[in-house]
Amino acid sequence: MLKHQRFVWVLSGIILSLLIASCNMPAGGYSSSKINGVEKVYRYDGGGEKVLVYEIDAAHKLTVYDQNDRRAQQMLARQQMAEQVTQTNAERIELIKHAPKRKPSDPIFVYLNLVELDNTMAQAEKPKGAIFEQIKKEFENDPIIRLVSKNKMKQGKTTGAINAMKGSSSDKAPGADVEISIRCFSKEVYGKNSKGKPASAPGVAFEAVVICNYIPADYKASESGHILKNVEVTRKLVDQIKNIIKNKIGPTIPANRSL
């Protein structure tokens, strides 16, 4: 659900640019040009004359010159759809802002994406998936945060209910409140050796993005340290993420999670 919601948030800003790409390729009696960020689409009439049909400026504003043209009508319909998405999204966000909020003791449902590893960490990780499992473990005993699975999220989208991966079977929710994406990569760390001299050593670093599913907000967390202290580094990263979820995102989550 979260990714679909997020897609709705950004759809109004990019929908025209995505759809333009499908219409810019010359087909039949049409051709296009792009100068200084302005896209112009032309049609060749029966006499071979080049006629300007519509143009889209760098800000994705559509200007139609031939209201009867097939392509122009398609672009107008898409523009209307984008405007409707923008309006619907704005109304939803306002509703959430003014809606009663969850209690501090209520659970927060979180989806943890698989950790993205660079080549070095992917080769060094043993067994495969160990980094994700270690991060996941740091969340599992939290009294507020409930991790949810991707399959359950898909089920929640179609049935309006979702079971938490932990807790009783009666714990249900329409989807994740928060989504976490984490990147793990190798990094040199610097310090002093046993003789007190400057030295470097192989290290591990994490960068996380924590995304709210209700009022649009992205938060970032990062942590790094010696590769042999990866468990400690992981714990510190998760502590940062938990603080973001509970203290920054938590107070914005509506009591009615179906909003």
Domain-located, residue 246: yes
122 & 245 share domain: yes
67 and 159 co-located in one domain? no
Regarding whether 126 and 238 lie in a shared domain, the answer is yes
Considering the domain architecture, whether residues 38 and 128 belong to the same structural domain is answered as no
Check whether residue 118 and residue 89 sit in a common domain.
no
Is 259 within a domain?
no
Q: Is residue 257 domain-resident?
A: no
Where b means 16+ CB within 10 Å and e means fewer, 223-244 reads bbbeeeebeebbbbbbebbbeb
Is 60 exceeded by the pLDDT of residue 19? Answer: no
Helical spans, DSSP H, in the chain: 2-23, 70-98, 119-124, 130-140, 150-159, 230-243
Q: What is the CATH number of the domain that holds 221?
A: 3.30.160
Residue 258 lies in a domain: no
What is the DSSP-derived secondary structure letter of residue 252? Answer: G
Please say which residue of 60, 80, 98 terminates a domain: 98
Domain boundary among 72, 98, 124: 98
pLDDT of residue 162: 31
Report yes or no on 181 lying in a domain: yes
Provide the pLDDT confidence category of residue 192 given band limits of 50, 70 and 90: low
Which residue, among 2, 7, 212, 180, has the nearest Cα to 97 in the 3D structure?
212
Quick check: helix, strand or coil at residue 1?
coil
Residue 167 maps to a domain? yes
Q: What is the pLDDT of residues 87-107, one digit of tens each?
A: 998 999 999 999 999 999 999
93 and 125 share one domain: no
| 164-183: average pLDDT | 61
Cis peptide before 127, with omega less than 30 degrees from 0? yes
How far apart, in Å, are the Cα atoms of 47 and each of 13, 40, 70, 119, 191?
38, 20, 18, 59, 77
| DSSP three-state, residue 54 | strand
Task: Give the pLDDT band (50/70/90) at residue 177.
Answer: very high
Give residue-wise pLDDT tens across range 31-68. 989 998 999 999 988 777 889 999 999 988 899 999 99
Would you say residue 84 lies in a domain? yes
Q: Quick one: 89 and 135 in the same domain? A: no
Cα angle value 65/69/70 (rounded, 5°)? 140
Model confidence at 18, in pLDDT bands (50, 70, 90)? very low
Could you please report the per-residue DSSP string of 184-246? EEEEEEEEE-TTS-EEEEEEEEEEEEEEESSS--EEEEEEEEEGGGHHHHHHHHHHHHHHIII
Q: pLDDT grade, residue 251 (50/70/90)? A: very high
Identify whether residues 132 and 66 lie together within a single domain. Answer: no
**Number of domains forming the structure of the chain:** 2
The region of weakest confidence among 155-159, 190-194, 226-230 is 155-159
Residue 28 pLDDT > 50 = no
Are residues 153 and 45 both part of a single domain?
no
Q: Which of 47, 69, 98 is the last residue of a domain?
A: 98
State whether 151 and 229 are in the same domain.
Answer: yes
Domain span at residue 227 reads 108-252
User: Is the same domain home to 195 and 146?
Assistant: yes
pLDDT range class, residue 257, cuts 50, 70, 90: confident
Residue 159 sits in the same domain as residue 68: no
Q: What is the pTM of this model?
A: 0.67
Give 87 or 149, the one with higher predicted confidence: 87
Residue 162 maps to a domain: yes
Average pLDDT over residues 106-123: 93
